[in-house]
Structure 1
Amino acid sequence: MKKTAFLLLLIFLGSVLLQLVLPWWSVVPLCLALAAWRGPTGGQAFLAGLLGVGLSWWLPAAWLNTHGANLLAARVATLLPLAGQPWLLVLLSGVLAGLAGGLAALSGALLRRAAEPRNALPAA
Protein backbone atom coordinates (compact mmCIF):
# COMPACT_ATOMS: atom_id res chain seq x y z
CA MET A 1 0.00 0.00 0.00
CA LYS A 2 2.91 2.32 0.71
CA LYS A 3 4.22 1.77 -2.83
CA THR A 4 0.82 2.65 -4.28
CA ALA A 5 0.52 5.85 -2.23
CA PHE A 6 4.02 6.92 -3.30
CA LEU A 7 3.19 6.22 -6.95
CA LEU A 8 -0.07 8.16 -6.61
CA LEU A 9 1.80 11.13 -5.15
CA LEU A 10 4.42 11.02 -7.91
CA ILE A 11 1.77 10.83 -10.63
CA PHE A 12 -0.29 13.62 -9.06
CA LEU A 13 2.63 16.03 -8.68
CA GLY A 14 4.11 15.15 -12.06
CA SER A 15 0.83 15.57 -13.89
CA VAL A 16 0.13 18.91 -12.18
CA LEU A 17 3.52 20.22 -13.26
CA LEU A 18 3.36 18.77 -16.78
CA GLN A 19 -0.10 20.16 -17.47
CA LEU A 20 1.15 23.67 -16.78
CA VAL A 21 3.42 23.66 -19.83
CA LEU A 22 2.47 20.67 -22.01
CA PRO A 23 -0.77 19.39 -23.57
CA TRP A 24 -3.21 17.27 -21.59
CA TRP A 25 -2.01 13.98 -23.06
CA SER A 26 1.49 14.47 -21.61
CA VAL A 27 0.28 12.69 -18.47
CA VAL A 28 0.00 9.42 -20.39
CA PRO A 29 3.76 8.91 -20.95
CA LEU A 30 4.36 10.14 -17.41
CA CYS A 31 2.04 7.51 -15.90
CA LEU A 32 3.45 4.80 -18.14
CA ALA A 33 7.05 5.63 -17.19
CA LEU A 34 6.40 6.02 -13.47
CA ALA A 35 4.42 2.79 -13.24
CA ALA A 36 7.10 0.95 -15.20
CA TRP A 37 9.74 2.35 -12.85
CA ARG A 38 7.97 2.07 -9.48
CA GLY A 39 4.96 0.02 -10.45
CA PRO A 40 3.33 -2.31 -7.97
CA THR A 41 0.75 -4.76 -9.26
CA GLY A 42 -1.47 -3.88 -12.20
CA GLY A 43 -4.54 -3.04 -10.14
CA GLN A 44 -2.63 -0.83 -7.75
CA ALA A 45 -0.91 0.97 -10.63
CA PHE A 46 -4.29 1.53 -12.32
CA LEU A 47 -5.73 2.96 -9.10
CA ALA A 48 -2.74 5.26 -8.60
CA GLY A 49 -2.96 6.53 -12.19
CA LEU A 50 -6.73 6.95 -12.02
CA LEU A 51 -6.66 8.93 -8.78
CA GLY A 52 -3.44 10.85 -9.51
CA VAL A 53 -4.43 12.15 -12.93
CA GLY A 54 -8.13 12.37 -12.08
CA LEU A 55 -7.49 14.57 -9.06
CA SER A 56 -4.94 16.70 -10.90
CA TRP A 57 -7.61 17.36 -13.52
CA TRP A 58 -10.66 17.55 -11.29
CA LEU A 59 -9.39 19.86 -8.54
CA PRO A 60 -8.48 22.81 -10.83
CA ALA A 61 -11.63 22.27 -12.90
CA ALA A 62 -13.80 22.35 -9.78
CA TRP A 63 -12.00 25.43 -8.50
CA LEU A 64 -12.41 27.24 -11.83
CA ASN A 65 -16.06 26.23 -12.02
CA THR A 66 -16.77 27.79 -8.64
CA HIS A 67 -14.74 30.94 -9.35
CA GLY A 68 -16.24 32.26 -12.55
CA ALA A 69 -15.61 29.81 -15.38
CA ASN A 70 -18.98 28.15 -14.91
CA LEU A 71 -20.49 30.12 -17.79
CA LEU A 72 -18.14 28.51 -20.29
CA ALA A 73 -18.60 25.10 -18.67
CA ALA A 74 -22.39 25.50 -18.86
CA ARG A 75 -22.17 26.32 -22.56
CA VAL A 76 -19.96 23.33 -23.28
CA ALA A 77 -22.27 21.13 -21.18
CA THR A 78 -25.15 22.35 -23.34
CA LEU A 79 -23.36 21.10 -26.46
CA LEU A 80 -22.89 17.68 -24.88
CA PRO A 81 -25.81 15.59 -23.59
CA LEU A 82 -25.31 16.87 -20.03
CA ALA A 83 -28.43 19.04 -19.79
CA GLY A 84 -26.33 22.19 -19.40
CA GLN A 85 -24.98 21.12 -15.99
CA PRO A 86 -21.39 22.40 -15.60
CA TRP A 87 -20.69 20.11 -12.61
CA LEU A 88 -21.45 17.06 -14.74
CA LEU A 89 -18.90 18.32 -17.25
CA VAL A 90 -16.31 18.74 -14.48
CA LEU A 91 -17.02 15.25 -13.18
CA LEU A 92 -16.95 13.68 -16.64
CA SER A 93 -13.69 15.37 -17.62
CA GLY A 94 -12.04 14.21 -14.37
CA VAL A 95 -13.21 10.65 -14.93
CA LEU A 96 -11.98 10.59 -18.53
CA ALA A 97 -8.59 12.04 -17.60
CA GLY A 98 -8.34 9.56 -14.74
CA LEU A 99 -9.11 6.66 -17.05
CA ALA A 100 -6.38 7.78 -19.44
CA GLY A 101 -3.91 7.95 -16.56
CA GLY A 102 -5.07 4.67 -15.06
CA LEU A 103 -4.79 2.76 -18.31
CA ALA A 104 -1.35 4.24 -18.97
CA ALA A 105 -0.19 3.24 -15.48
CA LEU A 106 -1.62 -0.24 -15.95
CA SER A 107 0.27 -0.50 -19.23
CA GLY A 108 3.47 0.56 -17.50
CA ALA A 109 3.02 -2.04 -14.75
CA LEU A 110 2.34 -4.75 -17.31
CA LEU A 111 5.34 -3.63 -19.35
CA ARG A 112 7.52 -3.94 -16.26
CA ARG A 113 6.12 -7.39 -15.59
CA ALA A 114 6.75 -8.49 -19.17
CA ALA A 115 10.35 -7.27 -19.03
CA GLU A 116 11.16 -9.10 -15.78
CA PRO A 117 13.30 -12.19 -16.22
CA ARG A 118 11.41 -15.39 -15.61
CA ASN A 119 12.67 -18.28 -13.58
CA ALA A 120 13.99 -21.12 -15.66
CA LEU A 121 11.32 -23.72 -16.28
CA PRO A 122 12.19 -27.24 -15.23
CA ALA A 123 13.05 -29.61 -18.06
CA ALA A 124 10.27 -32.03 -18.89
Structure 2
Amino acid sequence: MRLFLILLIAAAVAQLFLPWWVVAPLSFVAGAALGRTGGQAFLAGFAGIGMGWLGLAAWQQLHGAARLSHRVAQLLPLGGAGWALVVVTAVVGGLVGGVAALAGCWLRQALVPAPVEVSDTVAS
Protein backbone atom coordinates (compact mmCIF):
# COMPACT_ATOMS: atom_id res chain seq x y z
CA MET A 1 0.00 0.00 0.00
CA ARG A 2 2.87 2.35 0.81
CA LEU A 3 4.55 1.72 -2.56
CA PHE A 4 1.25 2.33 -4.36
CA LEU A 5 0.67 5.68 -2.64
CA ILE A 6 4.25 6.83 -3.17
CA LEU A 7 4.08 6.01 -6.87
CA LEU A 8 0.67 7.62 -7.30
CA ILE A 9 1.70 10.89 -5.67
CA ALA A 10 5.29 11.10 -6.91
CA ALA A 11 4.38 10.30 -10.51
CA ALA A 12 1.53 12.81 -10.52
CA VAL A 13 3.83 15.57 -9.28
CA ALA A 14 6.78 14.59 -11.47
CA GLN A 15 4.71 14.52 -14.65
CA LEU A 16 3.72 18.14 -14.15
CA PHE A 17 7.31 19.19 -14.88
CA LEU A 18 8.95 16.23 -16.66
CA PRO A 19 8.10 14.08 -19.72
CA TRP A 20 5.73 11.11 -19.58
CA TRP A 21 8.49 8.50 -19.40
CA VAL A 22 9.64 9.74 -15.98
CA VAL A 23 7.26 7.15 -14.51
CA ALA A 24 9.59 4.32 -15.58
CA PRO A 25 12.72 5.33 -13.62
CA LEU A 26 10.54 6.51 -10.74
CA SER A 27 8.76 3.14 -10.56
CA PHE A 28 12.07 1.29 -10.94
CA VAL A 29 13.67 3.10 -8.00
CA ALA A 30 10.55 2.82 -5.83
CA GLY A 31 10.18 -0.87 -6.67
CA ALA A 32 13.82 -1.49 -5.80
CA ALA A 33 13.53 0.38 -2.51
CA LEU A 34 10.09 -0.70 -1.30
CA GLY A 35 8.97 -3.75 -3.30
CA ARG A 36 8.77 -6.83 -1.07
CA THR A 37 7.90 -9.37 -3.76
CA GLY A 38 7.77 -9.18 -7.52
CA GLY A 39 4.00 -9.56 -7.64
CA GLN A 40 3.44 -6.88 -5.03
CA ALA A 41 5.81 -4.49 -6.82
CA PHE A 42 4.12 -5.06 -10.19
CA LEU A 43 0.62 -4.57 -8.81
CA ALA A 44 1.61 -1.43 -6.91
CA GLY A 45 3.34 0.00 -9.97
CA PHE A 46 0.47 -0.91 -12.28
CA ALA A 47 -2.19 0.50 -9.97
CA GLY A 48 -0.25 3.59 -8.91
CA ILE A 49 0.76 4.76 -12.37
CA GLY A 50 -2.39 3.46 -14.07
CA MET A 51 -4.72 5.25 -11.67
CA GLY A 52 -2.68 8.44 -11.95
CA TRP A 53 -2.88 8.37 -15.74
CA LEU A 54 -6.55 7.41 -15.62
CA GLY A 55 -7.35 10.38 -13.40
CA LEU A 56 -5.40 12.83 -15.53
CA ALA A 57 -6.80 11.51 -18.84
CA ALA A 58 -10.36 11.51 -17.48
CA TRP A 59 -9.95 15.06 -16.19
CA GLN A 60 -8.67 16.21 -19.57
CA GLN A 61 -11.47 14.34 -21.34
CA LEU A 62 -14.07 16.13 -19.22
CA HIS A 63 -12.45 19.56 -19.49
CA GLY A 64 -11.94 20.21 -23.15
CA ALA A 65 -9.83 17.47 -24.72
CA ALA A 66 -12.80 15.36 -25.84
CA ARG A 67 -12.50 16.53 -29.42
CA LEU A 68 -8.79 15.67 -29.59
CA SER A 69 -9.25 12.28 -27.95
CA HIS A 70 -12.09 11.51 -30.39
CA ARG A 71 -9.78 12.23 -33.32
CA VAL A 72 -6.95 10.14 -31.87
CA ALA A 73 -9.39 7.32 -31.16
CA GLN A 74 -10.39 7.43 -34.82
CA LEU A 75 -6.76 6.84 -35.81
CA LEU A 76 -6.58 3.81 -33.51
CA PRO A 77 -9.01 0.90 -33.84
CA LEU A 78 -11.28 2.37 -31.14
CA GLY A 79 -14.10 3.60 -33.37
CA GLY A 80 -13.69 7.21 -32.28
CA ALA A 81 -14.57 6.48 -28.63
CA GLY A 82 -12.66 9.03 -26.56
CA TRP A 83 -13.35 7.24 -23.29
CA ALA A 84 -11.91 4.01 -24.70
CA LEU A 85 -8.73 5.98 -25.36
CA VAL A 86 -8.74 7.08 -21.71
CA VAL A 87 -8.87 3.43 -20.62
CA VAL A 88 -6.14 2.41 -23.09
CA THR A 89 -3.98 5.25 -21.77
CA ALA A 90 -4.41 4.02 -18.19
CA VAL A 91 -3.55 0.42 -19.14
CA VAL A 92 -0.42 1.46 -21.05
CA GLY A 93 0.73 3.67 -18.19
CA GLY A 94 0.00 0.90 -15.71
CA LEU A 95 2.04 -1.60 -17.69
CA VAL A 96 5.00 0.78 -17.89
CA GLY A 97 4.85 1.43 -14.14
CA GLY A 98 4.27 -2.20 -13.23
CA VAL A 99 7.09 -3.62 -15.35
CA ALA A 100 9.53 -0.95 -14.14
CA ALA A 101 8.65 -1.58 -10.47
CA LEU A 102 8.96 -5.33 -11.03
CA ALA A 103 12.40 -4.89 -12.63
CA GLY A 104 13.55 -2.74 -9.72
CA CYS A 105 12.36 -5.30 -7.19
CA TRP A 106 14.02 -8.15 -9.08
CA LEU A 107 17.30 -6.22 -9.35
CA ARG A 108 17.35 -5.65 -5.60
CA GLN A 109 16.59 -9.32 -4.98
CA ALA A 110 19.42 -10.33 -7.32
CA LEU A 111 22.00 -8.01 -5.76
CA VAL A 112 21.01 -8.31 -2.10
CA PRO A 113 20.28 -11.93 -1.20
CA ALA A 114 17.59 -12.63 1.37
CA PRO A 115 18.88 -13.40 4.86
CA VAL A 116 19.04 -17.08 5.72
CA GLU A 117 16.76 -18.09 8.57
CA VAL A 118 18.37 -20.18 11.27
CA SER A 119 16.08 -22.75 12.82
CA ASP A 120 15.69 -22.90 16.60
CA THR A 121 16.27 -26.63 16.77
CA VAL A 122 19.77 -28.03 16.78
CA ALA A 123 20.40 -31.20 14.82
CA SER A 124 21.74 -33.97 17.07
TM-score normalised per structure 2: 0.89
2:27 aligned with 1:31: yes
Which of the numbers 2, 5, 19 marks the counterpart of 1:6? 2
* Alignment deviations for residues 76-123 of structure 1 (CA, whole Å, 9 cap, x no partner): 100111000000100001100100000000001101100113668xxx
| Alpha-carbon RMSD | 1.3
2:90 aligned with 1:94: yes
2:77 aligned with 1:81: yes
Aligned pairs, how many? 116
2:68 aligned with 1:72: yes
CA distance in 2, matches of 1:70, 1:6: 34
Query: 1:101-116 alignment to 2 at 5 Å?
Result: 101-116=97-112
Unaligned runs of 5+ in 1: none
Identical aligned residues as a percent:
48
Provide the residue aligned with 2:45 in structure 1. 49
Deviation at 1:38, TM superposition (A): 1.1
CA distance in 1, matches of 2:103, 2:20: 18
Unaligned runs of 5+ in 2: 117-124
CA distance in 2, matches of 1:96, 1:118: 32
* Alignment deviations for residues 39-71 of structure 1 (CA, whole Å, 9 cap, x no partner): 110000000000000011110111111222100
